[in-house]
Structure 1
Amino acid sequence: MSNRKPYVRPMNRTWWSKHPFYRFYMLREATVLPLILFTLFMLCGLASLVKGPQAWVEWQHFMQNPLVIAINIVALAGSLFHAATFFNMMPQVMPIRVKGKLLAPKMIIATQWAAVAVISLIVLILV
């Protein structure tokens, strides 16, 4: 056996910041952070709804805090950014054929956004 040590290339913490592809990827993945907070806020709202009217009113006052509103706006922007990048990637990942011909990528993306709009409209009507 050899006593030689294998070469290990040094890697610093910010290796990803030197390449635009990895910066974009890290930004996309970082959109989960405000979404985690949004989900926790909603879970607290559900718990307060179960606890009774007083807890529900307190949660509603908490949700009116400007910092919470800012976090929710960032979460919305992050989820829309995440959806846009996912929708743009979809035609490459899963090309769709209709009658043997590939569907145009713009058509696939537009269909996905239309589905989001329809579902959002249905939720707005129900609420």
Structure 2
Amino acid sequence: MTNRKPYVREMKRTWWKDHPFYRFYMVREATVLPLIFFTLCLTFGLGCLVKGPEAWQGWLDFMANPVVIVLNILALAGSLFHAQTFFSMMPQVMPIKVKGKALDKKVVVLAQWAAVAAISLFVLVLV
């Protein structure tokens, strides 16, 4: 056996801050944090809806808090940012071919946004 120590490269906790690609990746992945809050709010809202009018009104009052409104706006911005980055990657990951030719990337991305708009409009009409 040898007495040599193996080389261990030092890795700082903030290594990702030095590279734009990793910084962008970390920001994209951090968009989940406000979405967790939003999901928890909706879950508790459903629970309050089941409990009765008083609980529902309490939840509505909580949702009217300016801090909660700001967090929900952040969640919306984060989800739109996440969707935009996902939609822009999709033509590269899964190219769609029609009659043997790949569709233009812009067409695929715009089709996805059109689907989001159509589904959102459908949900708004239902409500």
Task: Give me the TM-score of the superposition, normalised by structure 2.
Answer: 0.98
Structure 1 stretches of 4+ moved >4 Å: none
Matched, 1:32 2:37: no
User: Which residue does the alignment assign to 1:124?
Assistant: 124
Q: Equivalent residue for 1:78?
A: 78
Amino-acid identity (%): 71
Are residues 1:94 and 2:86 paired? no
Aligned-partner Cα distance in 1 for 2:47–2:99: 50
CA distance in 1, matches of 2:6, 2:95: 43
User: 1:19 maps to which residue?
Assistant: 19
Counterpart-to-counterpart distance in 2, 1:75 and 1:105: 27
The alpha-carbon deviation at position 4 of structure 1 amounts to: 2.1
The residue that corresponds to 1:48 in the other structure is 48
Could you tell me the TM-score, scaled by structure 1's length? 0.98
* Structure 1, gaps ≥5 residues long: none
| Aligned twin of 1:112 | 112
Q: Deviations over 1:58-78 (max 9, x none)?
A: 000000000000000000000
Which residue is 1:61 aligned to? 61
Structure 1: distance between partners of 2:4 and 2:45? 59
- The 2-side partners of 1:119 and 1:93 are apart by 24
The secondary structure found in structure 2 opposite 1:84 is: helix
Report the more deviating stretch, 2-11 or 68-77. Answer: 2-11
